[in-house]
Amino acid sequence: MPRKARVKKTIQRELKRATNVKEAQDIISELSAEVEKKVEEFTGKRIPGMTVGGSKVSYQWSDLMDMFPVVSFIPEETIPLTFQGVMVQALAGIEMHVPKCFKDIYDRHVRERRSAAKSIPHLGYETTIALGAGALPPRTEE
């Protein structure tokens, strides 16, 4: 990929050849198209999850908006929801409009929480505390 200085000199040289503003605009648009084309050849098309140039392309909010339909729901608790490194904060009682992947994560969390509450075995002792129970009285030495 050419260095910035070389690209800058090329643009300046081409602009000096232009005789009017229209020609200069045409030259700039042609050169910017060429630069974008070269950058895409070097890096490849940006596809989340794909490895390009030795590093993995990370997901962004716009990628999730393109990949999933937007759904609305009202969470019952405040909890952070993370999908592929993109996080949203679900606030209890406030309607959210998010990609479906976040709703799926929240639904799975609610299912697991409810099933965990049902699967706790009865331990065989009272779970209520009798009145009067509390700290021991101060110890007196005789």
Greater model confidence, 4 or 99 = 99
Greater model confidence, 68 or 139 = 68
52: in domain: no
Q: Are residues 37 and 83 in the same domain?
A: no
CB atoms within 10 A of CB 102: 23
Q: Is the pLDDT of residue 126 over 60?
A: no
Provide the whole-model pTM.
Answer: 0.54
Q: Are residues 99 and 66 in the same domain?
A: yes
Give residue 39's pLDDT band: very low, low, confident or very high (50, 70, 90). low
Alpha helices in the chain (DSSP H): 4-17, 21-43, 61-67, 100-119
Give residue 81's pLDDT band: very low, low, confident or very high (50, 70, 90). very high
14: in domain: yes
Which of 5-19, 91-105, 111-125 holds the top average pLDDT? 91-105
Q: What is the pLDDT, as a whole number, of residue 1?
A: 43
Q: Are residues 70 and 104 in the same domain?
A: yes
Q: Are residues 113 and 66 in the same domain?
A: yes
135: in domain: no
What is the Cα–Cα distance from 70 to 133, expressed in whole angstroms?
53
84: in domain: yes
110: in domain: yes
Looking at residue 47, the DSSP 8-state letter turns out to be: -
Give residue 92's pLDDT band: very low, low, confident or very high (50, 70, 90). very high
Q: Is the pLDDT of residue 142 over 80?
A: no
111: in domain: yes
> Alpha-carbon torsion 124, 114, 88, 84, what sign?
positive
Nearest to 106 by CA among 85, 76, 84: 76
The boundaries of the domain holding residue 76 are: 61-119
| Domain count of the fold of the chain | 2
What is the Cα–Cα distance from 54 to 8, expressed in whole angstroms?
27
